[in-house]
Copies of this chain bind each other. A is one copy, B any other.
Amino acid sequence: MKKVVTMGEIMLRLSAPGQQKIQQTQAFDVVYGGGEANVAIGLSQLGLKTSFVSKLPDHALGYSANQQLNRYGVDTEQMLFGGERIGIYYLEKGYSIRPSKVIYDRSGSSFATSKTDEYDLEAAFQDADWFHISGITPALNEEIFQLTKQSLAVAKRMGLTTSCDLNYRSSLWTFENARKKMTELMQDVDVCIGVEPLQLLDAEGNEIKDRLPAKPGPDDYKEIMQEMHRKFALKYIAMTFRNQLSVNHHQLKALLSDGSGFYQSPETDVEIVDRVGTGDAFSTGLVYSLVNGYEPQRAVDFATACFALKHTIEGDAGLMSLAEVEQYMENRNSFSIRR
Contact = CB atoms under 8 A, between A and B. Distances in A.
Contact of A99 (B61, B86, B335): B335
B339 A169 contact: yes
A253 interface: no
Interface string A159-172: 00000000001010
Interface string A267-293: 011111101100000000000000000
A64 B22 contact: yes
A100 B313 contact: no
Given A60-B90, A71-B68, A85-B105, A337 B99 contact: yes
A262 B319 CA distance: 47
Contacts of A244: 333-336
A51 to B, nearest CB: 14
A60 B99 contact: no
A107 B84 CA distance: 10
Contacts of A327: 99
A177 interface: no
A338 B100 contact: yes
A275 B308 CA distance: 22
A297 to B, nearest CB: 20
Interface string A202-232: 0000000000000000000000000000000
Given A60-B21, A60-B22, A105-B85, A97 B328 contact: yes
Nearest to A31: B26
A248 B337 CA distance: 11
Given A338-B99, A338-B100, A339-B102, A23 B313 contact: no
Interface in A241-281: 244-248, 268-273, 275-276
A174 interface: no
B18 A96 contact: no
Contact of A28 (B30, B73, B169, B273): B30
Interface of A: 14, 17-31, 59-61, 63-64, 67-68, 70-73, 84-86, 88, 90, 92, 94-105, 107-108, 169, 171, 244-248, 268-273, 275-276, 308-309, 311-315, 319, 324, 327-328, 332-339
25 contacts: A18-B314, A19-B273, A19-B313, A23-B60, A25-B30, A60-B101, A67-B73, A70-B72, A70-B73, A71-B71, A95-B312, A96-B272, A97-B270, A97-B308, A97-B309, A97-B312, A99-B327, A99-B335, A101-B337, A104-B339, A108-B108, A169-B339, A171-B339, A246-B269, A275-B337
Given A97-B270, A102-B338, 17 more contacts: A21-B319, A23-B63, A26-B26, A27-B27, A60-B92, A61-B90, A67-B72, A94-B312, A96-B270, A97-B328, A98-B312, A98-B328, A99-B335, A99-B336, A101-B339, A104-B339, A107-B108
